[in-house]
Structure 1
Amino acid sequence: MKKEFSSLLLAFVLMLGFTPVFAAGNTQTVKDLQDAFTGESTAHAKYAAFAKKAKEEGYAKIALLFEAASRAEKIHAGNHQAALKQLGADVPVVNPEFDVKGTRDNLKDAIAGESYEVATMYPNFLKDASKEKVNIAMMSFNYAFQTEKKHKELYENALNSLDNNQVNSMPSLYQVCLVCGNTYAGQGPARCGICMTPNEKFVTLKL
């Protein structure tokens, strides 16, 4: 219903001869959303592949972490896609490219990716969206930014567990908020700590 309403509203605005500010898709925020969509779509596919590799190497609990993060990245990509569509901008066609190595190297790769998103990418994207006053982009970027900080820590803990032969002590259950992608190691709270979505709307992944 909301999608239909947005389409009708856009058609009405165009009929009156007005062009939405972001329809041309040439603002920095739109470019940021397109880059973020590409990045999150790639991360979704990459972490799924890393999960498969971890299973092959006998690291079921590390595989579970990669699966939970992959699910979260898919949610982020979906949010960025929805924002682009609402702004009347093009959604990129993504053909993910990445290398799959051993689980230890895959964890290092994941940590590097999350570190870049937390330290550089999303802070800059949030500044651009704030400057251009694009609230829907700010919301989508913030959901991903807050979640990636947690992913970075989860991957760092996993690598530490692997290096110290303590993988069996890792969580065997994760919950992912279907609205913002917030990822909990173990049972999450009654409501998401990022977007306040009720726990019953979380997806649970477990061994």
Structure 2
Amino acid sequence: MSSPFHNPESVTIKNLESAFAGESMAHIKYRYFAKLCREMGDEATAKVFEDTAEQEILHAFGHADLLFPKANMTPAKALQFAIEGETYEYTEMYPSFRNAAVAEGNDAAVKEIDEQIAESKEHAQMFKAVLEKAAKRFAALAKVEERHAKHYQNTLDKIAA
């Protein structure tokens, strides 16, 4: 998940990335625990897990704000980060996890990982399509803006003459 906005060797940045991952995982884990508690009829405990999950996501957002400062971000950069992350998942991370699961004979994990590889590839392709569509849209808008600018400049030139 490294951001190009920071020195990748920075201990603080590495710590923020770890904290972001931990808080994000806690959020999902507590949502899952809430789901289990609710299925078991324990609404009160489910609510405690859900409330805590909301706090965890706010903590993760705080770390993300430092890792991906709003002043440096654009929709295109966000899409590129997403493409890079999803591509890493289906080309490196999940295939290595799959190899370990195969070696251990964990067929259920292999099946889950195969699904994740396929979904990560789909996600990367979806983000690429959005980025390409946005690039075309921005190019078209730039042409319209250029026409408007020329029109305004021509009008200004006539007034100034």
TM-score, structure 1 length as denominator?
A: 0.34
Which is strand-richer, 1 or 2?
Answer: 1
Greater CA radius of gyration, 1 or 2?
2
TM-score, structure 2 length as denominator?
A: 0.43
Which is helix-richer, 1 or 2?
Answer: 2
